[in-house]
Amino acid sequence: MAARPTWQGHLKLSLVSCPVALYTATTSANDVRFHLINPETHNRIRMVPTDPDAGPVERADLVKGYEVSKDEYVLFDDADFDKVKLESTKVISIDKFVNEAEIDRLYWADPFFVMPEKGAGIEAFVVIRDAMKKQGKVALGSLVLRGKERQLALEVRDKGLLAWTLRAHDEVRDAGDYFDDIPKVKADADMVEIATRIIGQKEADFDPTTFKDRYDDALKALIKSKTKGGKRLVEAPEPEDTNVIDLMAALRNSLKGSASPAKKTAKNSAKKPAAKAAAKKAPAKKPASRKKAA
């Protein structure tokens, strides 16, 4: 496996444990990254740690400090952090099992693949995995990751396990602090009905392969264009806000525009003569149209 594990330790369920490794389930390798360049010299800028009094210093010689008051710090080195190591630094201990629906989606954070390490521990891993699959539950545990203890939600995924870090309760803001300010407005029943039909017309299967970062793609195209000295890219204007007065018209036009030819029925075909008749009456509306344009 090319990727390096993010974390290595043991997965423990009661008296059963096995060595496992966590691998980041997502990647940012395709993200567009920029460096700071001096436009005068075309040299890449290096960020050098600098002491205001002593000047440049080696990063390896630095220690961490916690600010207790203005310009006053308590210093910590590696030995200090070793003193507060928890069991979760090397062990994911499964504490309880819950239904997936009970976990608010606000708490789900980063996904990791949980892989068994090669050796005798694979059998114990399979036992834990199959038992979880049989119960159909999500396991909760904890581990220290990137210097912070995180709660984990583990679920069965194919032949392995998928672990999700869960945000702490104090990291999640109360939705009521924001949504309570939304004024109470009674929606028009006819508008809701049209919007519901639009949703029905746009119903589709979940296909993540269609998800594209258009801004990232535009940046790559711009990089390619500037590299080859090509033409300037087209700018995209922001859409205008929907006018409340024209909301019903916008909904009706959206309903017409989102209808696909495959969904047209014989009933729709029977209305074609009426559509032609309406088209013949169109010239009578031209004066009003010119007045509006003026």
Condensed to tens digits (0 to 9), the pLDDT of residues 124-151 reads 999 999 999 999 999 999 998 887 889 9
Amino acid 267: pLDDT: 43
List the single range of 1-10, 89-98, 144-153, 222-231 with lowest mean pLDDT.
Answer: 222-231
Amino acid 18: pLDDT: 93
Q: What is the mean pLDDT of residues 218-245?
A: 68
More confident residue, 281 or 165: 165
Q: What is the mean pLDDT of residues 152-159?
A: 95
SS3 content of the chain, % helix, strand, coil (to 5): 40, 25, 35
What SS3 string covers 76-90? ECHHHHHCCCCHHHC
pLDDT at 117 over 50: yes
User: How many beta carbons lie within 10 A of that of residue 16, not counting itself?
Assistant: 15
pLDDT at 80 over 80: yes
Whether residue 140 contacts residue 126, with contact meaning beta carbons closer than 8 Å, is answered with: no
More confident residue, 60 or 283: 60
Place of tokens 């436009």: 39
Amino acid 73: pLDDT: 95
More confident residue, 58 or 294: 58
Listed in sequence order, the residues at least 6 apart from 90 whose beta carbon sits closer than 8 Å to its beta carbon are 9, 10
pLDDT at 47 over 60: yes
Question: What is the topology classification, in CATH, of domain 7-27+84-171?
Answer: Ku70; Chain: A; Domain 2 (2.40.290)
Beta strands, E only, 132-268: 138-145, 148-157, 160-166
Helix (H) / strand (E) containing 252:
helix 247-258
Amino acid 236: pLDDT: 56
Phi then psi dihedrals of residue 103, to 5 deg: -90, 115
Amino acid 238: pLDDT: 63
Confidence of residue 280 (pLDDT cuts 50, 70, 90): very low
CA 189/CA 244 separation, integer angstroms: 15
Amino acid 232: pLDDT: 56
Averaged pLDDT of the chain: 82
Q: What is the mean pLDDT of residues 64-81?
A: 92
User: How many beta carbons lie within 10 A of that of residue 130, not counting itself?
Assistant: 11
Comparing CA positions, the residue from 25, 28, 26 lying closest to residue 113 is 25
Tell whether pTM > 0.75: no
In the DSSP assignment, the letter for residue 135 is: H
CA 222/CA 231 separation, integer angstroms: 9
**Which residues is 53 bridged to in the sheet?**
none
Amino acid 94: pLDDT: 93
List the single range of 23-27, 129-133, 216-220 with lowest mean pLDDT.
Answer: 216-220
Amino acid 287: pLDDT: 44
Whether residue 46 contacts residue 143, with contact meaning beta carbons closer than 8 Å, is answered with: no
